[in-house]
C-alpha cells in the first residue's frame, strides 16, 4: 500500500494469530495434524486412537503427494508426531520444550528407526518457531536417532496450510473458535493509514474535550454499550495484546507521518 507521500508504511504486526490453535484440545490438534498430512502426504495417512502413542500419532508409507514439495516429494516410511500447548506465548525455542522432547521422544524415535519403522519424521506443534529452532531441533533429533529426514512444522507452517485448505479448519471446529471479527496485520495498517488520510475531517467531526469530558471509564462504557462477556474476553485476549505492536508501528521513524494528527 502506498501512503500519500509515496512511502510504503512499515508493517510490524507480526504476532497476529488467525487461528486459535491453543484453544483446541490435544486430541483435536492431533486430528488437525492428520488432516493436514493427508493433504501433504496422501489419503493413506493412518492415525491412532488416543492413549500411549509410542512416539507417533500417525504414519504414512509411500511417496508423498506434495511434501516437502510437489516437484520433489519424499518417499519412505513417515512417522508423524503432534505436540500441542495451551500457551499463546510458547515457542519452539523454550528450553522446556526441547528438553522434554529430547528426554521423552528421542528414545522412542530411535527405537522406531532401529526397528526399520521410519525414514522420515515430522514433528508438528502450535508453538511459534524461530529460525534457530527450525535448524537445531531437527539436527539434534537426526544426530541422536540416525533419522536423516526430520522436519519441524510449527504455528506459521500450520496456519499456511489452513489458509490453503479451508475445509480442515472447519472440520476441527476452528471456524467456531475464531472471533466473529478478525483483524489481521494488513487490516490494522489500513486503519492507521486511512485515519491519517482523513485527519482533517476527523479533527472537525468531534471535539475531544467536549465529547470525552464525561467519559465514564472502560467498565461503565462496556456496560453502556452492552458488551457481552464473550466479546469482553475476546477484546482482552485477542485485541489488547496488539496495542504494543500498534504503538511500535507508530513509533517507527519510517511511519512518523502517521503520528501527526
Q: Give the pLDDT score at 226.
A: 78
Euclidean distance between CA atoms 140 and 152, whole angstroms:
12
Parts of the chain with a pLDDT under 70? 1-17, 50-55, 176-188, 199-215, 218, 230-234, 236-238, 258-261
Residue 212 C-alpha from the chain's centroid: 38
Q: Give the pLDDT score at 10.
A: 47
Euclidean distance between CA atoms 138 and 46, whole angstroms:
23
Q: What percent of the chain stands above pLDDT 90? A: 38
Domains of the chain: 21-177 (3.40.1350), 185-259 (no CATH)
Under DSSP, is residue 231 helix (H, G, I), strand (E, B) or coil? helix
* Neighbouring residues of 228: CB distance < 8 A, sequence distance ≥ 6: none
* Neighbouring residues of 172: CB distance < 8 A, sequence distance ≥ 6: 24, 28, 31, 32, 35
Q: Give the pLDDT score at 255.
A: 73
Whether pTM exceeds 0.85 = no
Strands ordered across the beta sheet of 149-153? 46-47, 58-63, 75-83, 120-125, 149-153
Q: Give the pLDDT score at 41.
A: 97
Q: Give the pLDDT score at 139.
A: 94
Amino acid at each position: 500500500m502506498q501512503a500519500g507521500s509515496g512511502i510504503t508504511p512499515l508493517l510490524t504486526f507480526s504476532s497476529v494469530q488467525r487461528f486459535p490453535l491453543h484453544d483446541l484440545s490435544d486430541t483435536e490438534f492431533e486430528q488437525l495434524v492428520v488432516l493436514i498430512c493427508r493433504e501433504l502426504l496422501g489419503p493413506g495417512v493412518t492415525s491412532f486412537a488416543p492413549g500411549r502413542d509410542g512416539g507417533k500419532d500417525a504414519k504414512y508409507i509411500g511417496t508423498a503427494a506434495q511434501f516437502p514439495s510437489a516437484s520433489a516429494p519424499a518417499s519412505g516410511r513417515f512417522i508423524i508426531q503432534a505436540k500441542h500447548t495451551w500457551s499463546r506465548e510458547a515457542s519452539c525455542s523454550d528450553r522446556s520444550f526441547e528438553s522434554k522432547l529430547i528426554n521423552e521422544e528421542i528414545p522412542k524415535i530411535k527405537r522406531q528407526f532401529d526397528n526399520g519403522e521410519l525414514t522420515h519424521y515430522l514433528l508438528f506443534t502450535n508453538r511459534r518457531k524461530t529460525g534457530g529452532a527450525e535448524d537445531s531441533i531437527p539436527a539434534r533429533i537426526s544426530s541422536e536417532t540416525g533419522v536423516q529426514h526430520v522436519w519441524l512444522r510449527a504455528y506459521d507452517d500450520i496456519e499456511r496450510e489452513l489458509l490453503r485448505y479451508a475445509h480442515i479448519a472447519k472440520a476441527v471446529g476452528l471456524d467456531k473458535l475464531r472471533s466473529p471479527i478478525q483483524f489481521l496485520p494488513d487490516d490494522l495498517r489500513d486503519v492507521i493509514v486511512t485515519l491519517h488520510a482523513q485527519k482533517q475531517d476527523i479533527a472537525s467531526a468531534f471535539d475531544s474535550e467536549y465529547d470525552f469530558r464525561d467519559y465514564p471509564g472502560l467498565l461503565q462504557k462496556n456496560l453502556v454499550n452492552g458488551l457481552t462477556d464473550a466479546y469482553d474476553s475476546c477484546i482482552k485476549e485477542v485485541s489488547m495484546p496488539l496495542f504494543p505492536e500498534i504503538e511500535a508501528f507508530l513509533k517507527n521513524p519510517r511511519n512518523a507521518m502517521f503520528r501527526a494528527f
